[in-house]
Structure formats: C-alpha cells, structure tokens
Structure 1
C-alpha cells in the first residue's frame, strides 16, 4: 500500500474517531485509547508494517489501548492492579511475532516478559509483599549472570 494511501487511511480514522468523541461528548481520554486500539489493529491486519515485526507494535498498542480504555471506563485507580500490563504488552507482541517466525529468541523474550507480568499481576491483585523481594532476587541473579558472561568474554 502506498504511503499516501496509508496516511490518508490513518487521517480518516483519526478524524472519524474525533468526530464521534465530539458528537457523543465523550472525554478526549476515550479518543486516545480507542485510537491506540485502532492503530494496533491496523498493524495486526498488515495495513501498517510488513512481516512478523509488525506484530510487536500491534501487541503493544492493543494492550495499552485496552488498559487505558478500561481505566477511562472504571477509573484510573484500577491502574494499581493493571500496571503489569505494560510489561505484558511487549511480551504479547513478541509472542505474536514468534507465531509467525518461529524464532526461539522471540519465544524466550516473550516468555520472560509474560512470566514477569504474571508475577507482577499476582503481586498487585493479592498485595503480596514477597513480590518486592522476589523481584530483587531476580535482578541480583540477572546482574550476576551478565557480569560473569562479560568477564568470560573479556578473558577469551
């Protein structure tokens, strides 16, 4: 699809959503969350982007758009529980890219982010105090592993 056609498509969607927001007197916050969801769908269906890489921004935009829409509807105090979705969003996009490319690196990265988000969701929903200690342990282990790998690469 030509760039001019894509720009026209995005501009048309933008104006349509803005018109709906103005006509229904919705808050502009609804506009941005719906715009992010629609932009994510444009990536999903290949209107924007090509190949498996388009699924990463698609997943991120869809998840963040849905989280913001939920917060607009039910209140931003729900962000106390929904913030781990920001860790989940790139994991979701990477997993979609993995389903297309079948790359083990994409799968590994997506699993790490999704598992972290599950841990954070659990901590947020159940107000688990051990989550801070667990996250600290994960960071220390990750830091030591990276440090040891960098020492080994210098020795070689």
Structure 2
C-alpha cells in the first residue's frame, strides 16, 4: 500500500506543477514563442525522409520553403512582427532555396531549376535591399554626410 501512496503522491505533485506553470503563463509563453516549430519540424522531416530514400527529391522544395519560413517566423517572434515589413522577401527566397535543393540533389534535374532559383534569390535580395534602404536609408544618408564633413575638415587644403 505504501508504494501506491508514493505513486499517487508523485502524480499529485506533477499535476500541481503543471497547474502552477499553466497559471503562471509558462505554457502560453512557450506556445507563443515556439509555434514555428510546427513549421520547422515538417521541413526537417521532409529532408530526413529524402536523405533516407523514403520520399522522392521533389519533397525538397516544400522542405526548404518550410525551413526558411520557420526561421523567418522565429525571427519575428523574437524581434517583433513589425520586422515582417522588410522580411517579406524571405517568402520568395524560400521558393529559391527549395528549387536550389531540388537542383542540387536530383540527378535528373534540368539547368532551368538552377536559373529559376538564382533569379528568385536575386529578386528576393533586391527587394530586401530596397526594404532595408527605405527603413534605414535616412540613417545611411546621415552617416555619409557626417563622414563627408569629417573628411572635409581633416583633409589638408591645397591652396586657399
């Protein structure tokens, strides 16, 4: 009978700890911060299934996309969802990564996949550069003006 009491006591303590964690918001915090794992894990599993020769190479396209998107969502969870205003080209980049993986690991892939992935990656990089320029462009302009002013002050005049 005493073994049964120990088991019931351990179960009661575990239930109490779970209830306290729930009341303190631990599960809500973990759910709010770690939900991109539900996107990352299928992407990783698709890669594992391909590399273990369970699924064909076509699964690398959605696998690569899911991994990139999950990383973007983790970034937004950590630094705020207003980051998505300049991270949205990552959705295009995810497609580029998936196509590039298909080109790299499929022996019968055409060269058009490489071209498409490079074009999409360049488009994504251009859009990201534009978004960053719009977001921090004024700071870059101010920095350039300060550097130009310091250069003009420090340099030796040739002749006045």
TM-score scaled to structure 2, two decimals?
0.60
Aligned pairs for 1:47-86 within 5 A: 50-86=55-91
3-state SS of 1:46 partner: helix
3-state SS of 2:55 partner: coil
State the match for 2:132 in structure 1: 125
Deviations 1:57-115 (A, max 9, x none): 01110011110111011100111221110010011000001001242121121111111
Deviations 1:31-67 (A, max 9, x none): 4311101111001111796122111001110011110
3-state SS of 2:127 partner: helix
CA distance in 2, matches of 1:24, 1:105: 48
Q: Which consecutive unaligned segments of at least 5 residues does structure 1 have? A: 1-21, 129-156
Question: Displacement, 1:27?
Answer: 5.0
* RMSD (CA atoms): 2.3
CA distance in 2, matches of 1:93, 1:32: 22
State the match for 2:48 in structure 1: 45
Larger CA Rg, structure 1 vs 2: 2
Once superposed, which parts of structure 1, at least 4 consecutive aligned residues long, lie more than 6 Å away? none
TM-score scaled to structure 1, two decimals?
0.62
State the match for 1:34 in structure 2: 37
CA distance in 1, matches of 2:131, 2:95: 19
State the match for 1:143 in structure 2: none
CA distance in 1, matches of 2:111, 2:133: 33
CA distance in 2, matches of 1:108, 1:66: 24
State the match for 2:151 in structure 1: none
Question: Displacement, 1:30?
Answer: 2.9
The answer (yes or no) to whether the contact 2:34–2:74 under 8 Å persists in 1 is no
